[in-house]
Amino acid sequence: MSISTSTSTSQAAMPAAKAGRRPRMIMAVLWPSFLMACVSSGLLFSLIDPVELVLLDNQLHLSQLGTYTAGFFLFWLLGTIASSLTALLLVDAD
More confident residue, 75 or 66: 75
28: in domain? yes
- 65 within a domain of the structure (yes/no): yes
Give the number of domains in the chain: 1
- Is there a domain that residue 13 lies in? no
Residue 6 within any structural domain of the chain: no
Q: What is the pLDDT of residue 73?
A: 95
Residue 38 belongs to a domain: yes
Asked if the structure places residue 73 within a domain, the reply is yes
| Residue-number span of the structural domain to which 56 is assigned | 21-90
| CA-based end-to-end distance of the chain | 27
**Does 35 reside within a domain?**
yes
pTM of the model: 0.70
**Contacts by 44-51, CB closer than 8 A, 24 or more apart:** 44/71, 44/75, 45/71
The rounded mean pLDDT for the chain is 79
Residue 33 within any structural domain of the chain:
yes
